[in-house]
Homo-oligomer: A and B are copies of this chain.
Amino acid sequence: MLNNLPTEQLEAIETALREIYTADAPAVDETAGFGIMLRYPMGWVEADGSPYHHPTGKRIRPLMVLFCAEAAGGDWHDALPAAAAVEILHNFSLIHDDIEDNSPIRHGRPTVWQVWGIANAINVGDATFTLSFQALHHLRDRNLPLSTVLGALHALGDTALTLTRGQHLDMKFEHEQTVTVEQYLQMIQGKTAALVSLSAYLGALIGCGDVERAAIFGEFALAIGLAFQIHDDILGIWGDPAVTGKSAASDILSRKKSLPVLYGLERSADLRARYTQTETFSEADITAVVTELEAVGALTYARQLEQDWNARALDALQRAEPVSPGTEKLRGLVDALFERQA
């Protein structure tokens, strides 16, 4: 993912994650079945309990924690419990979102609810959620001020609330005819962006102990998260299939109400009419929709918004006064994030 894979950090994250599951879920482990259910979505075991080695996801959030800790002038090792916490929180949200969104596959494997049913998946998600809080208590082994540990726990809870709100809006919008661009941006702030922002905040807080400076790192990452989501929305329509691995204009075919589409729907009666037709879009429909989106300026608007958020991110990063070599690693992580699907 990164030009120079941060192998040392990735391995340390993996170790920290496993240690938390071993230390905090021992009672859970006694009942082998439950221990397996908990470790399956982390990519450590197969559904039958046999070993599996495929870390789920790219560990972008925990790396964000560690690099921000370093960029804020701290030792990234101190931030490992927080790196583990955000990764576990992320996994929790996927376990429950997959039930809520009826998604059968995640990281190429059946989702938890597909394997063990909805009731067990809810319960596994709850345990995973709890482990993300418990992970932060390991910060106490790092000789940090207790107020920092408490601040980290409060921020984790705050973000968890934001995530439930984002998920609420997401589900609500699916059943609504009209969603404004404004509402959409509010919703995505409560999804991807909130968790990326928490990662940066926690890392910086642990790195420097200064709540206000940490908040600026959080601002930086929130902007990055939003820019990234908009970037992704653009690629869903105008991305090169050879690079994205999806069919051309895949988000048009699925009628996803992404940012450019919402912008277009606000401005074009033709688009509104097309989006109410019940038949599946033909190739010709898709081309017509894309052309109309471009005609009303949706692509230009989305690109501008992405650029604006990127500019805000850079501005915040400057104000955060990051130090080397954390800064460079952080920039590398951001570049990698955007290049991934460029």
Assess whether A158 is interfacial by the CB under 8 Å rule: yes
Closest residue on chain B to residue A132 by CB atoms = B157
B157 touches A134 (CB 8 A): yes
- The answer for the CA separation of A137 and B151 in the assembled complex, in Å, is 9
Instruction: Kindly provide the distance from the CB of A198 to the nearest chain B CB, expressed in whole angstroms.
Output: 13
Taken residue by residue from 114 to 125, chain A's Cβ proximity to chain B (1 for < 8 Å, 0 otherwise) reads as 000011101111
- The answer for the CA separation of A167 and B33 in the assembled complex, in Å, is 13
A171 touches B27 (CB 8 A): no
Instruction: Kindly provide the distance from the CB of A105 to the nearest chain B CB, expressed in whole angstroms.
Output: 18
Assess whether A4 is interfacial by the CB under 8 Å rule: no
Assess whether A177 is interfacial by the CB under 8 Å rule: no
- The answer for the CA separation of A99 and B122 in the assembled complex, in Å, is 9
Contact (A120, B171) CB under 8 Å given A126-B164, A127-B161, A157-B133: yes
Assess whether A100 is interfacial by the CB under 8 Å rule: yes
Chain B residues lying within 8 Å of A146, measured Cβ to Cβ, are: 146-147, 150
Chain B residues lying within 8 Å of A150, measured Cβ to Cβ, are: 137, 140, 146, 149-150, 153
- The answer for the CA separation of A122 and B120 in the assembled complex, in Å, is 12
B118 touches A96 (CB 8 A): no
Instruction: Kindly provide the distance from the CB of A156 to the nearest chain B CB, expressed in whole angstroms.
Output: 8
- The answer for the CA separation of A18 and B69 in the assembled complex, in Å, is 36
A134 touches B154 (CB 8 A): yes
Q: How many chain A residues touch B (Cβ–Cβ < 8 Å)?
A: 47
> Quick one: which of B127, B140, B154, B165 contacts A31, CB cutoff 8 A?
B165
Assess whether A210 is interfacial by the CB under 8 Å rule: no
The interface of chain A, by Cβ under 8 A from chain B, is 24-25, 27-28, 31, 33-34, 37, 96, 99-101, 118-120, 122-127, 129-131, 133-134, 137, 140, 146-147, 149-150, 153-154, 157-158, 160-165, 167-169, 171-172
Pairs across A and B, CB under 8 Å, 29 listed:
A24-B161, A25-B161, A28-B164, A31-B168, A33-B168, A33-B172, A34-B168, A37-B168, A96-B126, A100-B118, A100-B122, A100-B123, A119-B171, A120-B168, A122-B122, A123-B171, A126-B160, A129-B129, A130-B160, A130-B161, A133-B133, A134-B154, A134-B157, A137-B150, A137-B154, A137-B157, A140-B150, A146-B147, A146-B150
Going nearest first, the 6 A-B pairs with the smallest beta carbon separation are A100-B119, A127-B164, A146-B146, A130-B160, A34-B168, A134-B157
